[in-house]
Amino acid sequence: MSKALIRSMNRRGSRSEKSPPVARKKAFRDPSVCDRCGAVYTDKTWRRGRQLAQSLMDKAAWVKCPGCSQAEAGQYHGRVLIERGGANSGAVSARIANVERRAQIQQPERRIVSSKWLGDTLEVLTTSQKLAHRIAREIEKAFKGTARFSWSDREGTLLARVRCALR
C-alpha cells in the first residue's frame, strides 16, 4: 500500500473515531444513557458496559446514541466486500461479529449496519471507516486473504475488498 494511501486512511480513521457526523450535530446531556444498547455518555464520550451509580442513573437522559441512530437510518461509511473463496461462511461471519464486539467496547458508535451474503460474497456495511478497515484486516489475516482499499471522497465512504484464499 502506498504511503499516501496510509496517510489518508489514518486521517480519516481518526476523524471518524473522534466525532462521527451524527455525534457532531447533536449535543447530549451528561450523563445520557442509550435506550437501545445501554451505552453511557459522560465526559464527552460514549462507552459500552459502563456502570452508572444509581443516583446518576436517576438523572440521566434516556436517548438514542449516535451508533443506534446511524444504524437505524442505514447510514454507513464503510463497505466491506468479502469473497469467501474456500473459507467457511459461518466462520467468516463469526469472525466479523467478534471484531464488532471488541470495537464497541471502546466506541459504541462503531457498528455494523447490515451484513448479507450475495452468493459467495459477503457485504458488510459499517457506521465507521475504521471498523470496515479492521474487519477487512482481520479477515485477511484469518483466511489468508488479500485486502484492497479505496475511498469515495464525495460520499465519505471506505470500500474494502477482501479475497480469501483459504481452502
Q: Which residues here bind Zn ion, judged by CB under 5 A? A: 34, 36-37, 39, 65, 68
Q: Which one, 40 or 125, has the nearer CB to Zn ion? A: 40
Q: Which one, 37 or 142, has the nearer CB to Zn ion? A: 37
Q: Which one, 71 or 82, has the nearer CB to Zn ion? A: 71
Min dist. Cβ of residue 34 to Zn ion (A): 3
Min dist. Cβ of residue 35 to Zn ion (A): 7
Residue 81 pairs with which residues in a beta bridge?
Answer: 123, 161
Min dist. Cβ of residue 69 to Zn ion (A): 8
